[in-house]
Chains A and B, each alone.
Chain A
Amino acid sequence: MFIAARSALFLVSRRLQPWTRVKKRTANNLKSPAVCCQRKKSSYTPPPAKYGGRHTVTLIPGDGIGPELLNHVRELFRFCCVPVDFEIVRVDSSASSEDDINNAVTAIKRNGVALKGNIETNHNLPPSHKSKNNLLRTSLDLYANVMHCQSLPGVPTRHKDVDVIIIRENTEGEYSNLEHENVPGVVESLKIITRVNSLRIAEYAFNLAREKGRRKVTAVHKANIMKLGDGLFLQSCKEVAAGYPDITFDNMIVDNTTMQLVSKPQQFDVMVMPNLYGNVVSNVCAGLVGGPGLVPGVNYGKDYAVFETATRNTGKSIANKNIANPTATLLASCLMLDHLKLHAYAKMIRKAVLKTLSETQLHTADLGGQGTTSEVVHTIMQEIQRGGPRTSEQI
């Protein structure tokens, strides 16, 4: 009906206005897509959902530990008087219809930014039941997953001084969900690599590296076996690298990469890779810096950004037991505040989180400590209160 109204309006406007003026208007609009994109890219515009100085952010609780950790985030934001309102959209992982995830996508399109917990994908359900997390990423075209793995002070790990940024292509590769069984007992799973997406992610990686003052970008691939697929990815990265002479570019095969990560992770700076290798490598790095409870991750698209924990664990076995580590989710919310340009709040919360981790030695079970989630959050709040007057009533 909306479309009909629009077309009716267009027809009426054409009738009322002289032909030449309409022609000029359409000619003006016929700029090449590249130019349009460049115009939008020139400076970041804050997301549109800001009214009365308060941002609205979509919140998707997810399953497992998601709801409780995101509750803590809301509590903390309320405590710190952060001007962010959350629009909660629940997604039911067991429902076979895709309505709930479509609602979530609409909400994110409206607000521009989201904070989410992981939605469980039960792999015992039939294959028609697609992964809702994946659906979200592909519908919003969140093509870059960025994870910054840093060794945090106060966390006991076997490796020190790890500082790796992992950029993972988020929409294609092995996660295309294109599988079929032409002959019973033989399944073909399609891995799609496209030139356009490979160029895009490589461009993103080099831009980010330049922005953050990084010296080296490493492409991770398996082009000796998947010559066409990963060969195309590698070639795209090389082409983009040619446009960034200040940044060193090299490449490494994924098996060697994982081995090097386990022995000498300090040699890596920025890494860019297709979807599956990104999954594995990011989990290895998360393990190196202390586990899934510590690292936040971001999914960036051209117009939207979704923040979550980097390793996307549902944590079913520790759900509602008050033992989950809130650090990853809290740091993800700090990244979100940075994205919304609320830097002061981001800094405040991040400082408190890191201080709690390093100085008070209050660790949750995954780090070998005895603390509960609420104790950790409480300590963070106390830390923030100590820092200055920007809080709501006393704890």
Chain B
Amino acid sequence: MATEYLFIVYLQPPPAKYGGRHTVTLIPGDGIGPELLNHVRELFRFSCVPVDFEVVHVDSASTSEDDINNAITAIRRNGVALKGNIETNHTMPSNHKSRNNLLRLSLMSDGRVPQIWPMTVHLDRFTSVRSQHSCHFLSLSTSLDLYANVMHCQSLPGVQTRHKNIDIIIIRENTEGEYSSLEHESVTGVVESLKIITRNNSLRIADYAFKLAREKGRRRVTAVHKANIMKLADGLFLQCCKEVASGYPDIEFDSMIVDNTTMQLVSRPHQFDVMVMPNLYGNVVSNVCAGLVGGPGLVPGANYGRDYAVFETATRNTGKSIANRNIANPTAMLLASCLMLDHLKLHDYANMLHTVDIGGQGTTSEVVQSIMRIIQSGGPLTTEI
């Protein structure tokens, strides 16, 4: 049963390559997204990286979902995207869904069954429940299905933190779990929020985690769960992880309850190697780790699907309060763009951008300027500053 769901971790290079230049969708988002992505473009232009950006604006305030549909179409066309976080105003009505989530989720509006979900009955039930809440679904017949969110937390040299030498990879299930957006109020004053865990998705993410661990030469994978309370749901997740683990005897597998995990992360983070978990725990644990290595401005994240990849900052902060003040830390976004270059197999360019040294009181532009200087001193591959 498990062999049906073995997905290849190495994605094929995206098809949008013409004349040796890749096209990547760029979604500026809100807050600090636009300014940081502008810096990325500047830097790419400076370093003569053969990447063109197709900019798609998504308006977080509009109620129609056309703009996000356009973005998804663009990503499907290009295969790769770099995005800033799109703000989700939680005071708006509940049918106004999180656009970031819409992008990640696998939604089937026309009831077509994808290969990974063999249960048609279940799928129809899902669409009927969702139609009660949303104005209109995405009208696409396929979707992005970015099921794995990967965040590599490393202590960066030159950044002062309380913990040193942290190196943890966090793999978070990106499409289901608590983020299913299925809520209803059957009785006034009582809200039920559904957390969905499926065997298919759990096997898929566990497989991804172990493959990645093997690829990167990691020794141990830890599953984070709360199966003592949510016995069926997290119990299923844990069981799937165990099944997949039996196929990787060279990698050690253990599990830890999420509360103990967060406590251990705060006191002894070095015991963790690769961690795999459902959506909400992934959110919390990745933010704790980001805090440990120096904050939200330093860690890049990647969302991988079978066919698409979207790169962004790991902690998905909009940064409204520091927008347009030239004080945001560009590191996370720049490292995310490096990950993107690695994904596009432009490794030389990625390595060049990697050797940066960030520290001090600088503004965003100063930091970018110093990066450019370092790149220039590194070799002749640049245009003039």
Contact = CB atoms under 8 A, between A and B. Distances in A.
A259 B191 contact: no
B317 to A, nearest CB: 8
B44 to A, nearest CB: 29
A188 B194 contact: yes
Interface stretch (B244-252, B262-270, B336-344, B363-371): B262-270
B193 A194 contact: no
B56 interface: no
Interface in A169-209: 174-175, 177, 179-196
B191 A291 contact: no
B50 interface: no
A191 to B, nearest CB: 4
B195 A188 contact: yes
Contacts of B286: 255
Interface in B184-226: 184-185, 188-200, 226
Given A174-B230, A228-B193, A286 B119 contact: no
B88 A224 contact: yes
Contact of B192 (A191, A224, A227, A311): A191
A227 B231 CA distance: 25
Contacts of A184: 199
B51 interface: no
B108 to A, nearest CB: 15
A311 B257 CA distance: 12
Interface string B73-111: 000000000000000111001100010010000000000
A229 interface: yes
Interface string A259-296: 11111000000000000100110111011100110000
A228 B185 contact: yes
A121 B232 contact: no
A234 B258 CA distance: 24
Nearest to B200: A185
A226 B183 contact: yes
B259 interface: yes
B280 interface: yes
B98 A225 contact: yes
Contacts, number: 186
A192 B200 contact: no
Contacts of B88: 224-225
Contact of B227 (A123, A177, A186, A232): A123
Contact of A189 (B184, B230, B262, B317): B230
Contacts of A258: 262, 284, 287-288, 291
Contacts of A223: 90
B232 A127 contact: yes
A189 B288 contact: no
B193 A259 contact: no
B197 A187 contact: yes
A179 B183 CA distance: 15
A232 B288 CA distance: 26
A284 B288 contact: yes
Most chain B beta-carbon neighbours within 10 Å: one of A186, A284, A292: A186
A131 B259 CA distance: 16
Given A174-B195, A189-B195, A276-B226, A228 B183 contact: yes
A229 B183 contact: yes
A186 B196 contact: yes
B295 A227 contact: no
B385 interface: no
Interface in B281-295: 283-284, 286-288, 290-292, 295
Interface string A103-122: 00000000000000000011
B162 A158 contact: yes
B263 A283 contact: yes
Given A127-B235, A280-B259, A286-B263, A226 B193 contact: yes
A159 B315 CA distance: 23
Given A179-B231, A191-B178, A229 B262 contact: no
A282 to B, nearest CB: 8
Interface of B: 88-90, 93-94, 98, 101, 119, 121-122, 125, 162-163, 178-179, 181, 183-185, 188-200, 226-233, 235-236, 238, 258-260, 262-267, 280, 283-284, 286-288, 290-292, 295-296, 315, 317
28 contacts: A121-B229, A174-B230, A179-B231, A184-B199, A185-B119, A185-B198, A185-B236, A187-B233, A189-B195, A194-B189, A224-B88, A224-B90, A225-B88, A225-B181, A227-B90, A232-B189, A234-B90, A256-B287, A258-B287, A259-B287, A260-B291, A262-B266, A263-B295, A280-B262, A284-B288, A286-B263, A287-B263, A287-B265
Interface of A: 121-123, 127, 129, 131, 134, 158-159, 174-175, 177, 179-196, 222-229, 231-232, 234, 254-256, 258-263, 276, 279-280, 282-284, 286-288, 291-292, 311, 313
Given A227-B90, A256-B317, 15 more contacts: A129-B231, A183-B122, A185-B198, A186-B119, A187-B196, A190-B192, A191-B193, A193-B193, A226-B178, A232-B191, A260-B291, A262-B266, A280-B262, A280-B284, A311-B259
10 tightest A-B CB contacts, nearest first: A287-B266, A262-B291, A185-B199, A195-B189, A229-B193, A228-B183, A179-B232, A189-B233, A287-B263, A227-B94
